Amino acid sequence: MALAHTAFVFPGQGSQKVGMLAAAHAEYGAVRDTFNAASEALGYDMWDLIQHGEQDALNLTATTQPVLLTCSVALWRAWQEQGGEAPVVMAGHSLGEFSALVCAGALDFADAVRLVRQRGEFMQTAVPVGEGAMAAIIGVDDEVIVDICAEVAGQGPGVVAPVNFNSPGQVVIAGHTATVDAAIAALKEAGAKRAMPLPVSAPFHTVLMKPAGERLAEAMAELAIHSPAIPVIHNVHCQAEADPERIRELLVRQIYSPVQWTGCMQAIAERGVSDVVECGPGKVLSGLNRRIDKSLASHSLEEPEGLQATLTALSGGA
């Protein structure tokens, strides 16, 4: 039986930090088992890394992605272990889409951990360090951002485009460093309240990631993908898919396509969802979702007490 009117969402890069799961989470057998499986798949002690490692190590894209996936899947399994029921729909932001697909039964966890480590490596090496940049633009209409990026890019020779439609009035742009800088200047002139360069080393979700997409397609060629037991809304087109081959195609396209998070959450709300559970470190998505649709109630499993509070809050909605 599914929890009526409830969605689970899974965060992407940016939510990582040392201590991202409280030590008390290790009291859940499901959490211990999940981290043990990830450590075995990757050859290092992942629990020790997130509890006692260095932030710089966690910020390496090829490490960040499997760590975040493992944290999210561990919390999902702890939710299940405590008697939590399945939601009616799921979605994940960028890397979080892989977490959602694991939790929905479409991807094997160990396969996914190894795959997203490769995905991180492919993304990191697609563009030389220093040649790409990303920036968050706040306080100007999405259409203005789209138009100005197109205008700046049209002046050549570099690339700049909106890549994360996170919420109305909050969009991330990315591309070649100099071209992103030019777009920032133009957007400030157009009235953007804030334009903040992000501390990343590659222009994710732009056409510059197509080489990474080609390598990801090769890595996924023999990967088993199943039809999800729970619908997952995809970043590329804001729809759910049941066909495994279609899912494989969308995961490749996602790496060089904009993350349509606003559209994903609107699609979730259109399914009659009233409660959204953020299943992973941090509360970034909860903040975005409030700006997308104020009628959505947000819950977080980040802390053990949050997991218990969410179980209590939603137990009457099944």
What is the residue-wise DSSP string for 183-211? HHHHHHHTT-SEEEE-S-SS-TTSGGGHH
Mean pLDDT rounded to a whole number for the chain: 94
The C-alpha angle 287, 166, 306, rounded to 5 degrees, equals 30
Q: pLDDT tier at 58 (50, 70, 90 boundaries)?
A: confident
The confidence score (pLDDT) of residue 15 equals: 79
The confidence score (pLDDT) of residue 60 equals: 84
- State how far the alpha carbon of 64 is from the alpha carbons of 47, 117, 124, 221, in Å: 13, 8, 12, 23
| Angstrom distance (rounded) from CA 229 to CA 240 | 11
Catalytically active residues, by annotation: 94, 205
Nearest by Cα to 223 from 110, 126, 142, 135 = 110
DSSP, res 317 = G
| Angstrom distance (rounded) from CA 67 to CA 301 | 16
Q: Is the pTM of this model over 0.85?
A: yes
Average pLDDT over residues 257-272: 97
The confidence score (pLDDT) of residue 318 equals: 41
| Angstrom distance (rounded) from CA 140 to CA 86 | 37
Average pLDDT over residues 130-135: 92
Average pLDDT over residues 246-274: 97
Q: pLDDT tier at 17 (50, 70, 90 boundaries)?
A: confident
Per-residue pLDDT for 317 more than 50? no
Average pLDDT over residues 114-128: 94
The confidence score (pLDDT) of residue 202 equals: 85
Distance from the Cα of residue 270 to its chain's centroid: 21
Nearest by Cα to 202 from 220, 171, 175 = 175
Per-residue pLDDT for 307 more than 70? yes
Residue type, 283: K
| Angstrom distance (rounded) from CA 182 to CA 312 | 50
- Contact 130/197 with Cβ under 8 angstroms? no
Cis peptide before 157 (omega within 30 of 0): yes
The confidence score (pLDDT) of residue 59 equals: 83
Tokens 């800088």, located at residue: 181
Average pLDDT over residues 31-45: 97
> What is the percentage of the chain residues whose pLDDT exceeds 70?
99
Nearest by Cα to 42 from 8, 70, 73 = 70
Q: pLDDT tier at 316 (50, 70, 90 boundaries)?
A: low
Residue 175 region by backbone torsions, left for phi larger than 0, else alpha for psi between -120 and 50, else beta: left
The confidence score (pLDDT) of residue 200 equals: 78
| Angstrom distance (rounded) from CA 14 to CA 208 | 20
Average pLDDT over residues 93-99: 97
- pLDDT 10s digits, 287-299: 999 999 999 999 9
| Angstrom distance (rounded) from CA 21 to CA 281 | 7
Average pLDDT over residues 7-27: 90
Per-residue pLDDT for 204 more than 50? yes
Residue type, 144: V
- 184: which 2 tokens? 């920032």
Tokens 């990026």, located at residue: 149
Beta strands in the chain (DSSP E): 6-10, 89-92, 132-138, 160-167, 170-176, 194-197, 232-233, 275-278, 297-300
- Nearest-Å Rg of the Cα atoms of the chain is 19
Q: pLDDT tier at 1 (50, 70, 90 boundaries)?
A: low
In this structure, the dihedral spanned by the alpha carbons of residues 242, 93, 211 and 177, taken in order and rounded to 10 degrees, is: 160
